[in-house]
């Protein structure tokens, strides 16, 4: 090893761990469906893809692993720093978890495979894109006009695989 290629022995993420107020104790790079988590209020916290078991030192635990080899260890932590905060993800949260961490509500009720983005400006509305090559559904609370096809849509709308809708409020 050289000065440019150092392998840490005490902290896998170097000084980031002290900034986060948590240590990474164990890592599992495999998607393991037995690993589950809950938020601090006891509600389910969807986690997937890769897992870091966190040991809190000077931070708040937002979610804890409840199933699998990391049961009882922190999954998501938060540390207040000045007027801001640093959130350390031990695993990839599901879409609802990301919204919860960001303090956001869903724009519209939609399948998880749909990306729904608010549009503002001269024409307000939403853009909907299907991302996983499978049909999804979105519920429109009032009529919208699709600017790509000129169709008027309302209620529960089926979105075809890889379909994109550019919806303007009617």
The pLDDT tens digits for 91-112 are: 999 988 999 999 988 899 999 9
Enumerate residues 6+ apart whose C-beta is below 8 A from 128.
Answer: 110, 114, 115, 116, 117, 138, 159, 164, 165, 167
- The answer to whether 87 and 101 are in contact (CB under 8 A) is yes
| Domains of the chain listed by start with CATH number | 16-102 (3.40.50.880), 114-169 (2.60.40.1180)
pLDDT of residue 1: 44
pLDDT tens for 42-79 read 999 999 988 999 999 999 999 999 999 999 999 999 99
Phi and psi of 119, rounded to 5°?
-115, 135
């Amino acid at each position: 090893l050289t000065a440019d290629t150092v392998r840490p022995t005490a902290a896998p993420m170097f000084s980031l761990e002290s900034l986060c107020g948590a240590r990474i104790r164990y890592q599992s790079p495999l998607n393991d469906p037995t690993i589950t988590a809950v938020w601090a209020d006891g509600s389910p916290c969807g986690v997937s893809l890769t897992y870091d078991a966190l040991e809190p030192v000077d931070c708040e635990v937002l979610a804890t692993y409840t199933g699998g080899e990391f049961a009882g260890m922190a999954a998501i932590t938060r540390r207040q720093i000045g007027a801001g905060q640093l959130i350390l993800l031990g695993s990839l949260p599901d879409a609802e978890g990301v919204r919860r961490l960001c303090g956001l509500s869903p724009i519209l009720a939609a399948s998880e495979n749909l990306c729904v983005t608010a549009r503002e400006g001269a024409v307000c509305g939403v853009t909907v894109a299907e991302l996983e090559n499978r049909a999804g559904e979105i519920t429109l609370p009032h009529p919208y006009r699709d600017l790509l096809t000129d169709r008027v849509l309302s209620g529960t709308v089926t979105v075809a695989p890889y379909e994109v809708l550019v919806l303007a409020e009617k």
